[in-house]
Amino acid sequence: MANVIENVILDGETGFSAFGTSYNWDITNRFIGHAGLYTGPTIDTYEINVTLGGTSAWTIRSLRFLTEEGSQLDVNITDQNDGIARRIDVLGLGLGNATVTLFDTRVDYIRGSTDDPAYSVTLNLGNKRVASVELYGTNDTVNLGAGDVNSLDLGGGVNVVNGGSGYVGYLKFGDGNNTFVQGTGFLAQLHSDGGVNTLSLRDVAAVTLNGGTNTVTVVAGNNFVNSLTNWGGTDTVTVGAGAGLKTISLGDGNDTVNNSGYSESIAVGSGDDRVIFRNGSSGDVVALGNGNNFFRNEGADLSTVQAYSGNDVFQIAAGNIESMTAGSGTNSLTVGGTAWVGTYNGYQGNDVIVLQGNGGMQTIMLGGGANSVTTGGRFVQFIGAFEGNDIVTIGTGGAGMVKLDDGNNRVTTAAGSWVSTAYTGAGNDIITYNGGGDWLSTSRGNDVVTLGFNPIEFISLGQGNDLISVRRMAAGSETAIYGRSGTDTVNLSRFDVAVRVDLDLAEMQNVGGNTLFAFEGIERLVGTRFGDQLSGSAGRNDLAGGGGNDRLRGGDGNDILRGGGGSDRFIFDDADGRDRITDFRNGTDRIVIEDGRFADLAIRAVAGGTRIIFEDTEITLAGVRRTAIDAGDFIFA
């Protein structure tokens, strides 16, 4: 409790005294030039209570409260709420606590006198303009009123500013713990030197924060917050429904932006950041820095979302995004509902892209790495990836082009889908088409291709030993298969009817069930469980009949014939090269000789089997003894 207490009334007429000093008014002008209320040299605790009153307007150019270092002077100033326009040009507060309550008295300049955080200052500003408030390291509370404030500068400490309806030109916080709740008045600039800031904003031209831990909430107002800039720190920014924060620029740190209103541009620096656009929000550009970032869109239409290095998670639940770019790292993108992404570009890293339901994308371009793409019910125009082991799963919506560079890639398409063009680079690729397409090409490597019910019009298998598995397709469908270099195999075992294939025909042929194929550069055939007719080309072939009573003709070249189950027929003429039958069963299978007789045959025992020679044809029966072969094993046509 103060040891010395003074009570003073300033009324423009009556002289007053405090701490042994007296002052008189210029009665004619109701004016005092300077009043310096000095406690004197005695070290003590002082308190002065000042009432701003009187029945007429008056002016004091300078009112200062002074004490010696080591003393404490608490100042309490109360304005008489009577509508009279009094004026103090400069108000200097004492070395201690202060409470100033103004209504209609105009005070141009308010100055604190100490930066000691043991003291507090409370300012209740009224209806008149204040040019400048400058406080230091005290714990300050400022309640703004209807009057304008050109500049409000608060130092370190615990500061609270409650906004009013008047205009504020400049609000500055120090590096303490600061709270600002904006009223209906406009704020031109807000600046903080760091610290812990909690800000509730509505109509602000520019906010600049120099680091610190900041919580910024923007609520709906008459206009919006034009810009928020922080050079570092940890920020949590919330833009409420109907509110606007046009430009957000945050430096390094772990930041969170939650937008339910309008944010035209959001840029965050390095750190693990979270940016969320809620349903009903809007914006344009989002830039995420290095770090493990999280981005979610629940309904906004955006032009650009960009991220740099790091393991980023993107969730697009609704809304549209024209362009997305992810940096190096293991990135995840999910597009669901009816959301849409125009273009996605990924760089080095293992990216995972999933399109759920009717979530759609136009162009997906992935960098090197082990990437995974799964599409849904909407058409995707282009899917591409550079070197790496990539997995692409096409949903019912289909795709225009899939282009994968070198790597062991996997491509799978859904039943009923259509992929116009697919290309895979060097590597051992696995491609499964449950739908159809126009063109499929593989490159160097041992590739496995499986076709479904719908045709692919043209298939080109690259260098390597490739395997393509086909089945009976839609009636009248046509597929051309080109093997190119390597030993390539067509597996027909999934047909539900017997097949008939002649590899020497360079034209469409009805393989079975009104399914048309053309083959070129195919060396191996695998038949069905039914009675198939398989014929080779002029080169070296490997024909496997499977189950059923098959008819196998190797043709020119040195061929391998495998009958499989059933009673099979192996057909030769006098110029069929050196062929080998791997599973001839004496008494069940037959060798058909065209244009020949049994007497024309030379039958010899050889290592591992029996060899039959006539003209320019040699037939080796693997695992069959010479003594087991007689005329009953042959049919002469």
Q: Is the pLDDT of residue 84 over 70?
A: yes
Residue 245 burial by Cβ neighbours in a 10 Å radius (0-12, 13-18, 19+): buried
Determine what percent of the chain is predicted with pLDDT higher than 90.
92
Mean pLDDT within 466-471: 97
Give CA–CA dist 194/214, Å, rounded: 9
pLDDT of residue 595: 85
The tens digit of pLDDT for each residue in 161-181 reads: 999 999 999 999 999 999 999
Mean pLDDT within 590-607: 95
- Assign 163 to helix, strand or coil: coil
The tens digit of pLDDT for each residue in 276-309 reads: 999 999 999 999 999 999 999 999 999 999 999 9
Best CA proximity match to 378, nearest among 316, 458, 453? 316
The tens digit of pLDDT for each residue in 91-142 reads: 999 899 999 999 999 999 999 988 899 999 999 999 999 999 999 888 999 9
Write down the number of H helices and E strands in the chain. Answer: 0, 62
**Which phi-psi region, left, alpha or beta, contains residue 151 (left: φ > 0; alpha: ψ -120 to 50)?**
beta
Q: Is the pLDDT of residue 9 over 80?
A: yes
Contact 161, 152 (CB under 8 A): yes
**Which phi-psi region, left, alpha or beta, contains residue 397 (left: φ > 0; alpha: ψ -120 to 50)?**
alpha
Contact 302, 281 (CB under 8 A): no
Both tokens of 341, joined, read 């992404």
**Sequence-distant (≥ 6) Cβ neighbours of residue 335 within 8 angstroms:** 316, 341, 353, 354, 355, 356, 359, 360, 361
Give CA–CA dist 248/239, Å, rounded: 11
3-state helix, strand, coil in the chain (%, to 5): 0, 55, 45
pLDDT of residue 2: 65
pLDDT of residue 488: 97
pLDDT of residue 404: 97
Give CA–CA dist 432/526, Å, rounded: 18
Both tokens of 139, joined, read 């714990």
pLDDT of residue 123: 98
Residue 289 burial by Cβ neighbours in a 10 Å radius (0-12, 13-18, 19+): buried
Determine what percent of the chain is predicted with pLDDT higher than 70.
100
Both tokens of 472, joined, read 């009976």
Q: Is the pLDDT of residue 232 over 80?
A: yes
Mean pLDDT within 229-246: 95
pLDDT of residue 529: 96
Give CA–CA dist 426/389, Å, rounded: 11
Both tokens of 260, joined, read 């339910």
Instruction: Name the one residue in this structure whose structure tokens are 């089997």.
Output: 609
Best CA proximity match to 32, nearest among 110, 111, 88? 88
pLDDT of residue 138: 84
> Which residue ranges make up each domain of the chain?
533-636
Q: What is the CA radius of gyration of the chain?
A: 45
Contact 375, 399 (CB under 8 A): yes
